[in-house]
């Protein structure tokens, strides 16, 4: 990357206070590119599964947008999935993001996140690492990176996470540092929500809507963001069922009193219109865009052509 590099040590004025006196995150040198001043601003870390479902992506995008519009810096690992979605949404909302990478700060990893890395610097944020310049991605480095993500924020939001994952290791590090934890609840049948649901059972604050997140940020950061709460319009039965959780056609058909063949035709039509997507395990899920339209109450027209029960 061709941006100006810098190195910060604990006795430097711009070294982030969140790291200076943190016994859980001992940092001798912080390597970075971009704006070092943003490291001292109020920060919300948003993390989640790399192989996220559309639901997890929608949660990450919603949280990133709300934080960006509230003037709160979004910290993420820059990975594909929830991290990348949160950072992109924050910047698109006019906010800043700090990406904590497990490689050297001058390396873009993964390559699919290149535009997010470059925009983070160009829009007033930063890329930081505790690894020397040029360090390649190595498995043992990323647990250390996760500790830094937890240290740089005062609140951490988990959008979606399995029971055993790097996301949960970051959440565990945040708990050890007495950070506030938010978690988005998911279906009890979804493997990618087992971690977030467990966090809620253990005391994490559940985020059940955009307005809920806004209110919590107001209390924890002292910011005020005025938005109108989206009200969903009337939905067809298929869409309503998939809002709850992804399902296979043979699971969905008997619940709706439809033949599997009729249901498959409708799902194929929905897929062609970007409303649902076919997951690798055979289930159908709403797309991230469909979840967003649902939040805003805009799915009435999309579901007007659903077949009637028993058709």
CATH 3.40.50.450 maps onto the chain at 5-221
**DSSP 8-state class, residue 107:** S
- Strand, helix or coil at 136? coil
Bridge partners of 188, per DSSP, are none
* pLDDT score for 194: 95
Compute the chain's Rg from CA coordinates.
Answer: 20
The pTM for the full model equals: 0.76
- At residue 91, the pLDDT reads 96
Say how many C-beta atoms besides its own lie within 10 A of residue 215's C-beta: 13
- What residues contact 268, with CB distance under 8 A and at least 6 apart? none
**Residue ranges of the chain that CATH labels 1.10.10.10:** 237-296
Q: Which fold has domain 5-221?
A: Rossmann fold (3.40.50)
The pLDDT of residue 311: 42
Structurally, what CATH architecture does the domain formed by 237-296 represent? Answer: Orthogonal Bundle (1.10)
pLDDT along the chain (311 residues), means of 10: 84 95 92 97 96 94 95 95 96 96 95 95 97 92 95 97 91 96 95 95 95 89 59 57 86 85 84 88 88 65 44 42
Q: Which residues contact 22 (CB under 8 A, 6 or more apart)?
A: 151, 177
Distance, in Å, from the CA atom of 284 to the CA atom of 243, rounded to the nearest integer, reads 11
Residues 6+ apart with CB under 8 A from 126: 32, 33, 34, 35, 36, 38, 39, 98, 99, 120
């Amino acid at each position: 990357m061709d941006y100006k590099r810098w190195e910060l040590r604990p006795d430097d004025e711009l070294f982030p206070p969140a790291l200076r006196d943190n016994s859980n995150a001992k940092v001798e040198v912080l390597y970075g590119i971009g704006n070092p001043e943003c490291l001292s601003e109020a920060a919300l870390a948003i993390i989640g599964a790399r192989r996220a479902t559309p639901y997890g992506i929608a949660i990450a995008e919603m949280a990133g947008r709300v934080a960006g519009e509230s003037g709160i810096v979004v910290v993420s690992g820059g990975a594909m999935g929830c991290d990348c979605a949160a950072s992109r949404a924050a910047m698109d909302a006019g906010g800043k993001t700090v990406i904590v990478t497990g490689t050297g700060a001058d390396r873009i990893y993964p390559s699919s996140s290149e535009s997010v890395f470059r925009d983070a610097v160009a829009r007033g944020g930063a890329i930081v690492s505790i690894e020397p310049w040029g360090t390649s991605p190595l498995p043992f480095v990323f647990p250390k990176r996760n500790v830094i993500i937890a240290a740089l924020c005062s609140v951490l939001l988990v959008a979606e996470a399995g029971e055993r994952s790097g996301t949960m290791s970051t959440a565990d590090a945040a708990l050890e540092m007495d950070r506030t934890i938010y978690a988005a609840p998911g279906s009890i049948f979804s493997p990618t929500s087992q971690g977030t649901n467990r966090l809620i059972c253990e005391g994490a604050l559940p985020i059940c809507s955009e307005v809920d997140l806004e209110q919590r940020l107001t209390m924890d950061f002292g910011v005020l963001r005025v938005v109108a709460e989206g009200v969903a319009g009337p939905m067809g039965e298929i869409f309503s069922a998939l809002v709850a959780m992804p399902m296979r056609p043979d699971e969905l058909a008997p619940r709706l009193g439809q033949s599997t063949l009729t249901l498959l035709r409708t799902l194929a039509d929905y897929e062609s219109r970007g409303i649902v997507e076919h997951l690798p395990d055979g289930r159908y899920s709403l797309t991230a865009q469909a979840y967003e339209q649902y939040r805003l109450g805009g799915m009435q027209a999309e579901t007007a052509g659903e077949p009637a029960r028993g058709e």
